Structure 1
């Protein structure tokens, strides 16, 4: 039987003048496929180890950061092994784009989901049974159908790939109940290798994935969690939408990005605010009808410079490589969620920003949500532990990247130089006395007056403000009234936030009132020192942080002549993608266009040496690219 690489070459013959890449007799079928089909000369990290292991029939659990090349870990085995690879993908709305991207490089792929009409479904089923496709995409829900299982029994399956495998974790941020049934793959097809892949999992979550999917004997491959091209920044929340607008105008004008909000209402208001201020923004949340969500998602994927404002329901499985920023206007519930969401920026390896606005109300709101959440005590404790880790990341005075990687069990030798705490090192200060003043205020309201109030009221008491509420309740008679004028209101709110983060204060009730904890006594009894992060004034951004990090940077970093060529190539790509009805990145990634603009190849043979130009794309687009480079229409 001919190898998949030979079948692809036969189906898409090289154009005249194309010098095919000779991998050499010593190269594996996997490497030849990588070169011929995808246009890359070598594997990255442990990709080759994973691929060789799966090609040989072994099971694998792969943790690799977004943009690290997880898809190739099952796509190449799918092309090398006999049969059809079945890929379990969680989002039906993205299957068409996943198949389009594979078709663009000459890979035979299809999907089965509820969006297909009966005739198309029958055609794809027939192709699967006949072995005329290499990859078949299914949603996890489909595997609960007897008809789907019977169909799979009729074909020859080369492997099962379970993408976004963290969805199987009961405590995961993207839990999908249908993933729990995927253990039956091993039971029904015991001889077919399985590869489970995710970008986010602690060692505990990894163990849970292995248990639930019955991958106890699988080999684990864990890559570095570091995304050095992403600049992590967490800003004190003042007027979050105005802060976001400044970020977009100053650093990411015209760039594609994602803005995450906690509620549907906030999504709508933020999208309207950005639109009113000249930003091309779209909303996405579960309250929109399916047609609107699908239309907004397609526009985000296929148009340049669109900003998607969304709840966390958006983003999983998104392959758009040129997302230049991810912004959070509300505190994520866990470090895993934060890492997964920020990882959607900079998949192409180019500079990108992860920005979070964080304030006292975020802490109060999250604590309250945990206290009122469904589930038993163990569940609430688990949620609290996740939140505590997220708060520690927000409040740290050390390198954000060091803190983030520590959470996933990875150590690095030095600070990163590409996060806010490295670019503008924060100060820490002995806040013990301030903490005692605040805790004493809460204590006296509770014990002396049998009353509880929120953070704002406590701060007003410390600042000696005779508000109507304070006068009404005679709180100006408390011994703590006016004893905190050494700090500003913003600084006191920072103290409250950090005490909540450290468990020295608690939030109770529907109104978010403050209460003491067991640990409060250690501070009040002078048995514990409290070191706090100093609330920065409104610092001018460093030159590095203020520099545009998106499309403008990509053009500016090229020589003048190459920058013009890059823009012409982008315009050609946009027109080509629109004509074909596919996202621009399906044609070529920005990184490939940058290299073409810099190298200015003058022949198909030279163009074939550019990373990302595989055999099929060379045959399909090669002459057009050379015409653009030559200045022809």
Structure 2
């Protein structure tokens, strides 16, 4: 079985060998075993079911939550000569009927369907008449009620085990903390399945967190290092998405908006352009993302704080799927924390759900405010120990120092208490710094004992102190809609002098983001050929109306430019070029190489 799998991997997919746990997963599932696979984005999850699908008799049914994801994966498989189709609402009735006949007649290797369609009585009856090789449940974290992408239909996928117990199932996800992992196994009846848990580390992604200080200027400073590169800028609100897209467009970026409130045709057109054109910056809410299979996204920027470490990991994971250098950049401030905590408190969720969401937000705040390697903190959230500092996050590259903020914290906490625990951070800073504002005088806060005791620190430092006190659980944001702060029981030890408090010292605002890793690294002597190959790829993609990356990845083009193969035999030995692509595009590629000399 293993030899057949490797031969198929080389012949169809153009890879010399499996990576990590792929070989063990393929052998287990191809042999009829159930599996739960946890593997980071870009780690090669799809091969874990695509190869067994081609090794086993029948059609593999792949349950996928989004239309865009299905279409991209099917097109990529067709490029490899694999008989793949999808069934979703984008198909006309006649086309859907053709696909269903092909399934029943055994003419498909893989069929992608949404869970909603799979669960219909008509489709279940169709599966009864077809020969099924395996069931693959992609984005399996959607089964978790407490997760960030919950899809209730995923809960009903236990029908696969109940109705076809003899057919192997493989559930896959790139985003699941330990509780979610256990919930996936329980909800999908995979307790007896073999678990394959890979490292969640994405070593090619550089993680950077900056504190908001004119966020738009900070975003432009960051993007200046990524001109003409594809990327995603996430914003919390629809209005901010549109304003950010317009702001970037006015500054010469090819920026487009995406959110659920846009007309469906505009949304679809913008997503199509992002997938098929180079250098598009998509400004979006988190409605945009899970179905994005674009490998050459060079950055993901967050203009607001996400809701959880799990959501942040998944969103940043859309960068650098090709394994090349990429950036995850997060800009946040205390206002984000206040807003998110208010949203939690004012939601219709039960108390248990609210407590969970508060814990997840606090975990993310701990990541943002840490002074240690960010990768260590991020991976710890997924139950993984990362032994050494990564050397590829802002804290590693620009080490952060701490300062004894005990006295400053006492002043801040005392000010909160003496002003009645009814005010937000802006007013509290005015009091601490002795501000002569109309509101301070009107409230009589210029007579408080804490008035003016914080003149030694500037407003930016005080914002940092308050933000870290909230993140550390010494202050709590009230859910009253005004962002007022009040003390928590944990603050007592600091106020009474029984606990020393070290806080993160804010780095001076610089343009060090310009040191960010750039696009795919190509040697100067190979750049001319690399660009010529990209032009060829662009023409081929346009002729077929498909994204360029389903023809060849940039990393494959770089390898061709470096190796300069002179015939089809030597071209076929390079990674990423299977038999079908060699036959379809090989001569055109060799022509470009030979013309380059």
Interval containing the TM-score (normalised by the shorter chain): over 0.9
How far apart, CA to CA, are the structure 2 residues paired with 1:51 and 1:197? 13
How does 1:75-86 map onto structure 2 within 5 Å?
A: 75-86=50-61
Q: Which runs of 4+ in 1 moved over 4 A?
A: none
2:412 pairs with 1:438: yes
Candidates 510, 514, 519, aligned match of 2:485: 514
Which residue matches 1:356?
Answer: 330
Candidates 119, 122, 131, aligned match of 2:94: 119
Query: What is the Cα deviation at residue 145 of structure 1?
Result: 1.0
In the alignment, is the contact (CA less than 8 A) between 2:327 and 2:516 conserved in 1?
no
2:447 pairs with 1:477: yes
In the alignment, is the contact (CA less than 8 A) between 2:68 and 2:291 conserved in 1?
no
What whole-Å deviation, never above 9, does each CA across 1:477-535 have from its counterpart, x for those lacking one?
A: 11110000111100000011011111111111111111111212222122222211011
What whole-Å deviation, never above 9, does each CA across 1:324-375 have from its counterpart, x for those lacking one?
A: 0000011111111111111110011110000000111111111111211222
Which residue matches 1:602?
Answer: 566
How far apart, CA to CA, are the structure 2 residues paired with 1:576 and 1:550? 26
Q: What 5-or-longer segments of structure 1 have no aligned partner? A: 1-25
How far apart, CA to CA, are the structure 1 residues paired with 2:204 and 2:373? 15
In the alignment, is the contact (CA less than 8 A) between 1:324 and 1:549 conserved in 2?
no
2:337 pairs with 1:370: no
How does 1:68-217 map onto structure 2 within 5 Å?
A: 68-217=43-192
Which residue matches 1:9?
Answer: none
When normalised by structure 1's length, the TM-score is 0.93
Query: What is the Cα deviation at residue 204 of structure 1?
Result: 1.2
Query: What is the Cα deviation at residue 547 of structure 1?
Result: 3.6
Aligned residue pairs total 596
How far apart, CA to CA, are the structure 1 residues paired with 2:305 and 2:2? 48
2:345 pairs with 1:345: no
Which residue matches 2:528?
Answer: 564
How far apart, CA to CA, are the structure 2 residues paired with 1:28 and 1:491? 62
Which residue matches 2:514?
Answer: 546
Q: Could you say what secondary structure the match of 2:521 adopts?
A: helix
**RMSD of equivalent CA atoms:** 1.3
Candidates 591, 599, 609, aligned match of 2:555: 591
Query: What is the Cα deviation at residue 413 of structure 1?
Result: 2.5
Q: Could you say what secondary structure the match of 1:565 adopts?
A: helix
In the alignment, is the contact (CA less than 8 A) between 2:68 and 2:292 conserved in 1?
no
In the alignment, is the contact (CA less than 8 A) between 1:167 and 1:175 conserved in 2?
yes
What whole-Å deviation, never above 9, does each CA across 1:166-219 have from its counterpart, x for those lacking one?
A: 010111111111111111110011111000000011121100000001111110
When normalised by structure 2's length, the TM-score is 0.98
Q: Could you say what secondary structure the match of 1:28 adopts?
A: helix
Query: What is the Cα deviation at residue 47 of structure 1?
Result: 0.2
What whole-Å deviation, never above 9, does each CA across 1:597-631 have from its counterpart, x for those lacking one?
A: 00000000000011000000000000000111122
What whole-Å deviation, never above 9, does each CA across 1:134-181 have from its counterpart, x for those lacking one?
A: 000000111221111111111011000000000101111111111111
How far apart, CA to CA, are the structure 1 residues paired with 2:10 and 2:95? 32
How far apart, CA to CA, are the structure 2 residues paired with 1:540 and 1:294? 35
In the alignment, is the contact (CA less than 8 A) between 1:93 and 1:294 conserved in 2?
no
Query: What is the Cα deviation at residue 94 of structure 1?
Result: 3.0
In the alignment, is the contact (CA less than 8 A) between 2:529 and 2:596 conserved in 1?
no
How far apart, CA to CA, are the structure 1 residues paired with 2:33 and 2:264? 39
Which residue matches 1:491?
Answer: 461
In the alignment, is the contact (CA less than 8 A) between 1:256 and 1:305 conserved in 2?
yes
Q: Could you say what secondary structure the match of 2:419 adopts?
A: helix
How far apart, CA to CA, are the structure 1 residues paired with 2:406 and 2:375? 28
How far apart, CA to CA, are the structure 2 residues paired with 1:27 and 1:148? 33
Q: Could you say what secondary structure the match of 1:353 adopts?
A: strand
Query: What is the Cα deviation at residue 632 of structure 1?
Result: 8.0
In the alignment, is the contact (CA less than 8 A) between 1:325 and 1:352 conserved in 2?
yes
